[in-house]
């Protein structure tokens, strides 16, 4: 249900064009599924972000942060209260060997900016479809690199709306985790400390990683990337493949035939299709190999009533 009083306050903080009512979240997620957000707000300045966080607290209204929606499953009942997306805070600039990116910039574009400046260290991120904020949240990584290797510092606001400047070590970055969810930080900006390199060599690495990704991942379908974390000593994709699960389909969601670690939306899947298929995969792998597959992808929102 829309809170009109909160809507009025939001358009006062930012502007009418930045506040959407009953917005379908399937338009904002890589899986192309999810119900409606009561209010989706896309602030344009750090001050607006601060004021929106304070408003949600004052009004005691649920608040959810959405990045690029590439590591999320939003349930079919959607999300109540305020959903905030920072994709308008997407400036990327270079200072010497540092690249400074707004949290709503794509990490892919940040990696391309580093290439443009012949700076090495962000090549691994050239195909990760998340935002800078989302990449810090889960210490995104690929092909031997991760955010932890090159992040120097970050500007965040805490759950009370206070602005904090933190060093990378303050985020406890580890394999696909950070303390951002526990602390309730909202990342506004990240500074990556890179090294001078050779343009052609950096480009060659990025081209090679792009080729590997395109040949191995089902990028032709909507998905949320790898659904499960790598269990210690195993590969999730291999366990799923060896369980004979590739091609298994529930509704419109299917365990990818190209990469077993992915679940793809091949035919107007619902979030419920996805969730059932995730449970089925977890149970089958547990029964067959005794290994627990922990989800990498986050599930948010409400079930349909």
For ligand FAD, the binding residues (CB under 6 A) are 30, 65-72, 86, 103, 128-131, 133-135, 137-138, 140-142, 180, 185-187, 217, 219, 223-225, 298
Q: For residues 41 and 82, give the distance between their C-alpha atoms in angstroms, rounded to a whole number.
A: 7
Q: Give least dist CB 219 to ligand FAD, A.
A: 6
Q: For residues 195 and 119, give the distance between their C-alpha atoms in angstroms, rounded to a whole number.
A: 5
Answer whether 134's CB lies under 8 Å from 67's CB: yes
Active site positions, annotated: 176, 226, 296
- Burial letters 258-270, b for 16+ CB under 10 A, else e: ebbbbbbbbeebb
Q: Give least dist CB 66 to ligand FAD, A.
A: 5
Q: Give least dist CB 89 to ligand FAD, A.
A: 8
Q: Give least dist CB 111 to ligand FAD, A.
A: 12
Give the nearer residue to ligand FAD in terms of CB position, either 134 or 197.
Answer: 134
Give the nearer residue to ligand FAD in terms of CB position, either 13 or 209.
Answer: 209
Give the nearer residue to ligand FAD in terms of CB position, either 219 or 245.
Answer: 219
Tokens of 109: 């574009």
Q: For the chain, give me the number of helices (H) and strands (E)?
A: 8, 19
Q: For residues 152 and 17, give the distance between their C-alpha atoms in angstroms, rounded to a whole number.
A: 34
Contacts 24+ apart (CB under 8 A), 166-175: 171/136, 173/136, 173/139, 173/146, 173/147, 173/148, 174/139, 174/148, 175/139, 175/141, 175/146, 175/229, 175/230
Q: Give least dist CB 300 to ligand FAD, A.
A: 7
Task: List strand residue ranges (DSSP E) for 78-168, in order.
Answer: 79-85, 92-95, 98-102, 119-120, 141-142, 145-146, 151-157, 163-167
Give the nearer residue to ligand FAD in terms of CB position, either 205 or 286.
Answer: 205
Give the nearer residue to ligand FAD in terms of CB position, either 217 or 286.
Answer: 217
In which residue are the tokens 């996805």 written? 274
Q: For residues 199 and 303, give the distance between their C-alpha atoms in angstroms, rounded to a whole number.
A: 49
Q: For residues 104 and 88, give the distance between their C-alpha atoms in angstroms, rounded to a whole number.
A: 6
Give the nearer residue to ligand FAD in terms of CB position, either 125 or 285.
Answer: 125
Q: For residues 154 and 168, give the distance between their C-alpha atoms in angstroms, rounded to a whole number.
A: 7
Q: Give least dist CB 287 to ligand FAD, A.
A: 27
């Amino acid at each position: 249900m829309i809170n009109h009083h909160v809507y009025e306050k939001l358009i006062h903080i930012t502007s009418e064009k930045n506040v959407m009512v009953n917005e379908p979240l399937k338009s904002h997620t890589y899986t192309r599924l999810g119900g409606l957000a009561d209010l989706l707000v896309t602030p344009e300045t750090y001050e607006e972000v601060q004021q929106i966080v304070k408003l949600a607290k004052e009004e005691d209204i649920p608040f959810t942060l959405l990045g690029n929606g590439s590591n999320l499953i939003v349930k079919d009942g959607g999300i109540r209260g305020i959903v905030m997306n920072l994709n308008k805070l997407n400036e990327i600039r270079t200072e010497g060997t540092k690249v400074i990116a707004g949290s709503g910039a794509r990490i892919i574009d940040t990696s391309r900016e580093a290439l443009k400046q012949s700076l090495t260290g962000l090549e691994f991120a050239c195909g990760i479809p998340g935002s800078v904020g989302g990449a810090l949240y889960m210490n995104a990584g690929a092909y031997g690199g991760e955010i932890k290797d090159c992040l120097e510092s970050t500007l965040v606001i805490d759950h009370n709306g206070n602005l904090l400047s933190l060093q990378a070590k303050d985020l406890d970055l580890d394999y696909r985790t950070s303390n951002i969810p526990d602390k309730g930080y909202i990342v506004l900006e990240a500074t990556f400390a890179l090294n001078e390199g050779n343009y052609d060599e950096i480009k060659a690495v990025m081209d090679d990683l792009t080729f590997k990704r395109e040949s191995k991942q089902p990028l032709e379908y909507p998905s949320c990337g790898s659904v499960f974390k790598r269990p210690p000593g195993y590969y999730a994709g291999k366990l799923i493949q060896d369980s004979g699960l590739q091609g298994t389909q529930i509704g419109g969601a299917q365990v990818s035939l190209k990469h077993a670690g992915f679940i793809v939306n091949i035919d107007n899947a619902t979030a419920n299709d996805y969730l059932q298929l995730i449970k089925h995969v977890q149970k089958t792998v547990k029964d067959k190999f005794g290994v627990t597959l922990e989800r990498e992808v986050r599930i948010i929102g409400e079930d349909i009533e």
